[in-house]
Amino acid sequence: MTSFAQRCGLESSERDAECRRVAQLIEASGIELVRFGWCDAHGMLRGKTLTAKAALRALHDGVGMVGTLMLKDTADRTAWKVFEPGGADGLPGFAGAANLMLMPDPQSFTVLPWLERTGWLRCQPWFGDGTPVPLDARGMLQTALAQLGKKGYGLKTGLEVEFHIYRITDTRPQLDPELAAWPGLPPTVEMIHPGYNLQAEAMSDMSDEPLRIVQRTAQALGLPLQSLEIELGPSQVEAVFDATDALTAADQMVLFRNGVRQALRRAGYHATFMCRPPFPNIMSSGWHLHQSLVDLKTGRNACVRDTPAPGTTRADATHTLSEAGAHWLAGLLSHARGMTVLCTPTINGFARFRPNALAPQAALWGQDNRGAMLRVVGAAGDNATRIENRVGEPAASPYLYMAAQIHAGLDGLARAALPPPASESPYAADNQKLPSSLGEGLEALRADSALCAALGEDFVRYFCRIKQSEIDRHAQAEDKTDFERREYFART
């Protein structure tokens, strides 16, 4: 009898060896439970927890999950009427809340450092007939990377993530059954530092306990944490990671957010990757994505040029970037408005796009300019030359954020496009503005025919419907702050 992994075409001698390795690790470590985790369209981990014995079987046969988990909005409400005739039209395989199968990657096995005798495996969803679910966000990034690979390139990315940490003072609002609602309330919190003292050592010392938890959790998970810093806002911090290939970086972002939230919660802290927590005086958090092309034949940074192009100044992209790098930059600019909603996918996140706030407001680039959407860092001959996209929020799905970069960049490469001169006034009134709301972002995505074709029309319809559900509920909410407190602060 064939296993489900065989029906999916996943079985190989290499995978079988990895499964045996995991079995040995589980036995040697005394693992009792294994979490099978899958990342949804919102970048949130979901999944099932199996006993060790069941987990070993599931390495080959998978584990079932209700298909509507892929159809949830940010309040965990199903955005399709799957139990009504025609309610799941356009979503073959999802009618009636049919089961999907989670298939684990044995190479991803990790012992969770904040839990006793508990392991974790990264999974992706498959239909029961052994075909992959095309709406899976990680699969979207894998497809984009495969297309980039056909052009001879890989993508290297570095994560620079801002977020907020608070000390929990009262869990009763969140756990009191009399206050239970859908979605529910967060705990009551206080700040870990007062803010407005960027990278101050005194603020870092005040925040040492939670920052140590972040550091130890990240390192125990094998994540390449480089630094932890005090950001400008009250209770705001930043984590910076060494650059790696895009798929690995996206996986690391998922592990980091999930691990940090859980480890801090156990120590009495609430971490949130919500862009703007629901308090009167707050600074927005961004997720700055550093990226460079990699020549797959040589392994070199394909954005680097040896010397500036003749006749250019710093305002010209080819003064700093290779021809391929300049085309990539042009592609990111061309699709800036369309990709914004994949990089900033919440109502709350769009409030970050304000002038003079170290956040972008327009579709433009600049030479080492932190007010620009796209910041070019480096110089001719500098192997660290890269493009930093500053449009993202830390709650975004890393897979969709990075897939958007690739499809936009590929279009720039295909057209051999060149960007306009760099801007020195990123907040000027006459610049082409980024979308200013989630609804406008969805409209910009639908209007970007090339980006829609690259992502797939089915995926665009799916993504837009999930996000429209969020917009509709926000419009109906009488108290917008309470909506964001429940929708984002309690959950992201």
pLDDT in tens, 378-394: 999 999 999 999 999 99
pLDDT the model gives residue 52? 97
pLDDT the model gives residue 356? 82
Judged against a pLDDT cut of 90, whether residue 491 lies above it is answered with no
Tell me whether residue 240 is exposed, middle or buried, using C-beta atoms within 10 angstroms of its C-beta: 0 to 12, 13 to 18, 19 or more.
middle
Q: Are strands 374-377 and 225-230 parallel, antiparallel or unpaired?
A: unpaired
First to last CA, the chain: 42
pLDDT the model gives residue 191? 97
Amino acid at site 422: A
**Gap between the Cα atoms of 63 and 6, Å rounded:** 14
The sign of the dihedral angle between the CA atoms of 306, 152, 105, 92 is positive
Q: Please state the rounded mean pLDDT for residues 170-197.
A: 94
Mean pLDDT, all residues of the chain: 95
The sign of the dihedral angle between the CA atoms of 211, 213, 218, 222 is positive
The model's confidence at residue 341, banded by pLDDT at 50, 70 and 90, is very high
pLDDT the model gives residue 16? 95
Q: Please state the rounded mean pLDDT for residues 6-23.
A: 95
pLDDT in tens, 77-86: 999 888 888 8
And the tokens for 277? 């927590």
Q: Please state the rounded mean pLDDT for residues 143-169.
A: 97
**Gap between the Cα atoms of 16 and 59, Å rounded:** 9
Q: Please state the rounded mean pLDDT for residues 408-417.
A: 98
The model's confidence at residue 46, banded by pLDDT at 50, 70 and 90, is very high
Q: Please state the rounded mean pLDDT for residues 253-261.
A: 97
pLDDT in tens, 297-337: 999 999 999 999 999 999 999 999 999 999 999 999 999 99
DSSP string, 14-59: HHHHHHHHHHHHHHHHT--EEEEEEE-TTS-EEEEEEEHHHHHHHH
The sign of the dihedral angle between the CA atoms of 187, 209, 111, 250 is positive
The model's confidence at residue 492, banded by pLDDT at 50, 70 and 90, is confident
